[in-house]
Structure 1
């Protein structure tokens, strides 16, 4: 697992968390903008709901790895008071298509939208 974070404080906390829990040391935590990363070695990429530049990151993902599946955390209904929902209209410049979606319920706050490269 590789985690990217652009926020220095979140990176510091996340890196410590990963170091404490990653027994076999197979995970890494990198301070980097996801829009600048090479995703060629990844099959599945998760984008957190609070990531600000999702469109730029999606574009970079599919430019470096058109076979990737991207899961973006979003939110539905009343839970929009806690998190910002994904605005897929911002993805019109990205060659991608929605291929699946989970729906939140009374026990789960976030939903997840799955995207693949659109040829």
Structure 2
């Protein structure tokens, strides 16, 4: 799957997803750090990439945009927002993408469950 990692995710997270055979680009690699959420979302739509982020606000852009838009996966680190917790959510996401498509959906990936929202 084609993914873009937001600036709040590490290069180690990008490596995990690349190791799982995903085509990964990052906000940092494209020098988009500090750009408004809408700009990042629009770049993802233009590139046909789902966005992976820790920012719940970006998920609202996907929910209320016209058309299907790119998928968005929001990683919820729970009550222990550590780098290790982030890597665990990334691994959880990689496993989920083996069986389900993120395309056009909003996923909230929590420590013990995932909530999937699709436009109707």
TM-score interval, smaller chain:
0.3 to 0.5
Larger C-alpha radius of gyration, 1 or 2? Answer: 1
Q: Which structure's residues are more often helix, by fraction?
A: 2
Q: TM-score scaled by structure 1?
A: 0.41
